[in-house]
Each structure stands twice: as C-alpha cells, then as structure tokens.
Chain A
Amino acid sequence: MVQDNGKEQTLALKLRVWRQRRGQPGAFEEHSLAAVPTSASFLEMMDMLNEQLIKAGKDTFAFDHDCREGICGMCSMTINGMPHGPIPGVTTCQLHMRNFRDGETITVEPWRARAFPVLKDLAVDRSGFDKVIQSGGFITVRTGSAPEANNIPVPKPVADEAMDAAECIGCGACVASCKNGSAMLFVGAKINHLNILPQGQAERDRRTLSMVKTMDEAGFGNCSNYGECQAHCPKSITLDVIAKLNRDYLRARVKEFFSSTGKPSKGGD
C-alpha cells in the first residue's frame, strides 16, 4: 500500500517463532523485525527475518513453501493460533502484511498434530496424507487403456461438485485447525471427488473403506463436527464432504457385512 507521499507503509513487528530440531523438544524464540512493507506476503516477511538471522550468523527458521501463489499446498504455518493466519480462505503465502498492525506481536508455530511430526522449526511431515491417497485415492486406469473421453458423459452438476471437492490442495490446515487433529475434511474431499464421478463407481466401496482405515492408522483424530476445518480451509471446502464420506463409509460397511465374501466387492448402488 502506498501512502500519499509515495512511500510504502511499513510495520515493526515482534515475532515469537517456534524453533525445534527433529525428535527434540522445541521452544519459542523472540525476534524483532523492523520496516516490514505492508505489501509483503507473510512468507516474504519470514524471508526478511531469515536474512536478518543470516546477517547475525544465526540459523534461519526452516519452513515449507513453494509456489507462493496458493495452489501447491506446501506452506503451513499456524499464525496467532490460526492455520494460515487470520484471513479466511487464503494460504499463508497469500496472506499479506497489511492485515497486521504496527507493533503487533505475532506467534508463528508449525502445524500441531501427532500425525504431522515436526521436521525442523515450522516444517512438518505430512506424509500421512500421501499414505491415505496411496491406499485408495485414485481411479485405477492403466496408461493407454482409457476409453474415448466423451464415451463417459458426466452431468455438469456432478462434474462441478467433483471439482468443488477436488480443489483441495492437501495443505493440512484442516488437521491443524481441528481440535481433534482429524483428517476427515481432506479424506472427505478426495472421497467426494472420486466417488460421485461415474468413472469412480467401480472402486467406490473399496476406496472408502481403505482410505478410512489408512487414515485411522496414520494417527489422525476423529470428527466431532466442530467445523473448524471448514473455517480454516484455504479452499473453503465444506463439511458436506465429511457428511458424504460418512454416508459412503456406512453404506460400504453395511454392504461388506452382508456380502457373501465379507469383502467390499462392488461399487455403485
């Protein structure tokens, strides 16, 4: 933001930033940072802090970040207790310093959840998410075996709904914001994306049961319907996906229970 005199507004900040080495206990470190332009993003502010640390010969804070345009899902900071900070619907990289006050103390922490152990400082291990996808978050289709694309009509409302769920960037803010450390929003989003498309029917029950099982094994908590995940999701994915995950899970379990093999064999209705 530019002031009338053509100069950019800046902030002086006090920062409490989490410092931790892998497998060891961590603690907050306090730092002051002057002249932070209000136009800078939160991560650029962290870059400035790190440059200041380098000048002083100290180790920088490690944090995850990559695309810095809100789509890769790599950035992950809990800012003043809120995953991705105080502005709903944006990732940390899209949070700008104009949303903070001069002289403010900002607390920066990693995602906090047992399933996301800290690797260093603000960077955590989110491989639990990948494991959930590996256990069923796909439609089995070998390269080259696909039918002509327009042979599978997908009604527009269905495609739109699948797309709503598929917008999930896998950042983990849902887990970090959940008072239970639950991954239901993430898993629900993927289940919704694949389970409502005609292409996804063949593996529907299998997928649901397998992903939920892996989710539980990965150490995530359970859903208590707090709604914090939706409120902190940078892509504003709604609790609907959890309701549908629950429905699909119940249905698959019932079908599995009554099936002749005791296994999820078929998808669809």
Chain B
Amino acid sequence: MALTGLVLAGFVLGHMTGNLLMFKSSEAINAYAAWLHANKGLLWGARTVLILSTFAHIWVGIQLALENRAARDGGPADDATRRATIASRTMPYSGVVILGFAIFHLLHFTFRTIALGGATFAEGDVYKMLIAGFSCKPVAYFYIISMLLLCLHLSHGVSSVFQTLGLRNERWRSRLDGLALAYAWIIALGFISIPLAVLTGCLK
C-alpha cells in the first residue's frame, strides 16, 4: 500500500501543479498539455506506472480490507474507539469514492466520452475544456467533494507511508502527521481552486 500509495500521492502533486497553470494563462496550460502529448515516451511511461500502481493499490487494498474484516470477527458488540482517526477508519470508503471519481474524470476529460458541460472540446485547447467542464455545476461539486475525500485519504495515507517504511517514531509522529495533513490540504485546495474559480467566475 505504502509504495503504490507513494506513487499515487506523487502523481496528484504533479497533476495539481500542472493544473495550476490555468491561473497563469490559457496558453500556459495548453502549451503544457501539448508538451506532454509531444513526449509520448514520457507520457506513456508515466501512464504505465500510474495504471500499474493504481491497480496494485486497489487490489492490495481490497485484499487487506477483506482480510482485516475477517480477522476482526465482527468486533465487540459495543465497539469503542479511543484514538483511530476518521480518516484512518474510512480509507476503503474514501478510496472507493476517489476511484469512482477517477473513472468519471478520465471519461470526462481524457477520453471525453462523457460530454457534460455542453461545450464541444476543441482539440488542443485544454483551457477551454476545463472551463466548459466545470461550468456544469454538478460536475464541479462532485469534483470538489471528491478532492475533500482525497484530502482525508491522503492525510492518513501519507503519514502511514512513514510508519510502514519504518521511518516514524514517537518523537516525530506528530510532526510527520502534520506534514501529511499539510500535504493533503495543499493537494486538495490546489485542485479545488480551479472549479471554485470557474464557479465564481474568476476563470472564464
């Protein structure tokens, strides 16, 4: 979970940073997209790693969740929680929603088989595509909610990476937890800023 999660957590950072070019200018983001598509090797290399990581992350995640559920044997009738965070306890659920979102997101913006937003996408004009896509309010809201869940998922996931790789101790625990939380919020807010800007009319 930790290694694949690390790849995915790294990816969202890259993706989010690229997205922020929206705020620079339409040319900037379109040029970035064109550059990505021009470097087929890089693009497909990254895509391959991502796809493999995603599948591995999902596969291992499902297995672990099933194993863990069985090992718990139902748990106490009167279960109490002393310390486990909401984030940690909802990882499979936040994960499923994020997966659903990712599929929708790909269909929407990458394969463009879903044409929500009304506009026809001009080839090569990512800027316009995004503005059009997020002008559809349900899409923007779904996007925002999914990014908040991603934040939840990352806040536990990133701090767990340190634990799983054995890089955490009692002294550093709260610092690393804080770091993970900050990372999760940066990612989420970075992504959310675009639909929010579209909704509020800052980006047109």
Binding site for B on A (CB under 8 A): 28, 78, 80-82, 88, 107, 109, 112-115, 176-182, 219-228, 230-232, 238-240, 242-248, 250
Stretch at the interface among B32-40, B108-116, B158-166: B158-166
Query: Which one of A114, A220, A231, A239 lies within 8 Å of B163 (CB-CB)?
Result: A239
Query: Which one of A28, A81, A222, A244 lies within 8 Å of B80 (CB-CB)?
Result: A81
Residues of A within 8 A of B72 (CB): 112-114, 178-181, 221
B73:A181 contact, CB within 8 angstroms:
yes
- A82 to B76: give the CA distance in the assembly, Å: 8
B82:A228 contact, CB within 8 angstroms:
yes
- A215 to B104: give the CA distance in the assembly, Å: 40
- A239 to B71: give the CA distance in the assembly, Å: 20
- With A230-B83, A232-B82 in contact, do A224 and B68 touch (Cβ < 8 Å)? yes
- A231 to B168: give the CA distance in the assembly, Å: 17
B166:A248 contact, CB within 8 angstroms:
yes
Residues of A within 8 A of B81 (CB): 179, 228
* A-B residue pair count with CB separations less than 8 angstroms: 118
A78:B82 contact, CB within 8 angstroms:
no
Query: Which one of B75, B88, B164 lies within 8 Å of A226 (CB-CB)?
Result: B88
Residues of B within 8 A of A224 (CB): 64, 68, 88, 91, 160
- With A80-B80, A231-B82 in contact, do A219 and B71 touch (Cβ < 8 Å)? yes
Q: Which residue of A lies closest to B70 (CB)?
A: A114
A interface footprint on B53-85 (CB within 8 Å = 1, 0 otherwise): 000000000001001101111111111111111
A225:B83 contact, CB within 8 angstroms:
no
A interface footprint on B157-193 (CB within 8 Å = 1, 0 otherwise): 0011011111111100100000000000000000000
A182:B71 contact, CB within 8 angstroms:
yes
Q: Given A226-B85, A232-B82, 5 more contacts at CB 8 Å? A: A182-B68, A222-B67, A227-B83, A228-B84, A238-B170
Query: Which one of A28, A88, A112, A246 lies within 8 Å of B82 (CB-CB)?
Result: A88
- With A221-B68, A242-B163 in contact, do A113 and B83 touch (Cβ < 8 Å)? no
Could you list 23 A-B pairs, sorted by A, with CB under 8 Å? A81-B80, A107-B77, A107-B78, A109-B77, A112-B75, A113-B71, A113-B73, A180-B68, A181-B73, A219-B71, A220-B71, A221-B71, A224-B88, A224-B160, A225-B164, A228-B81, A230-B83, A231-B83, A239-B168, A243-B166, A243-B167, A244-B166, A250-B166
B84:A82 contact, CB within 8 angstroms:
no
6 closest Cβ contacts across the A-B interface?
A247-B166, A221-B71, A81-B80, A181-B71, A180-B68, A226-B84
Query: Which one of B71, B82, B170 lies within 8 Å of A240 (CB-CB)?
Result: B170
- A182 to B70: give the CA distance in the assembly, Å: 11
Give the size range of B's interface with the partner.
35 or more
B153, chain A: closest CB distance, angstroms: 12
Residues of B within 8 A of A242 (CB): 163
Binding site for A on B (CB under 8 A): 64, 67-68, 70-85, 88-89, 91, 156, 159-160, 162-170, 173
- With A220-B71, A231-B82 in contact, do A81 and B76 touch (Cβ < 8 Å)? yes
Residues of B within 8 A of A80 (CB): 78, 80
A18, chain B: closest CB distance, angstroms: 8
B188, chain A: closest CB distance, angstroms: 20
Query: Which one of A181, A228, A238, A247 lies within 8 Å of B165 (CB-CB)?
Result: A247
Q: Which residue of A lies closest to B64 (CB)?
A: A222
A135, chain B: closest CB distance, angstroms: 18
Query: Which one of B76, B85, B88, B169 lies within 8 Å of A243 (CB-CB)?
Result: B169
- A238 to B174: give the CA distance in the assembly, Å: 13
Query: Which one of B75, B165, B173 lies within 8 Å of A179 (CB-CB)?
Result: B75
- A78 to B72: give the CA distance in the assembly, Å: 14
Residues of B within 8 A of A220 (CB): 71
Residues of A within 8 A of B71 (CB): 113-115, 180-182, 219-222
B156:A112 contact, CB within 8 angstroms:
no
Query: Which one of A228, A243, A245, A250 lies within 8 Å of B83 (CB-CB)?
Result: A228
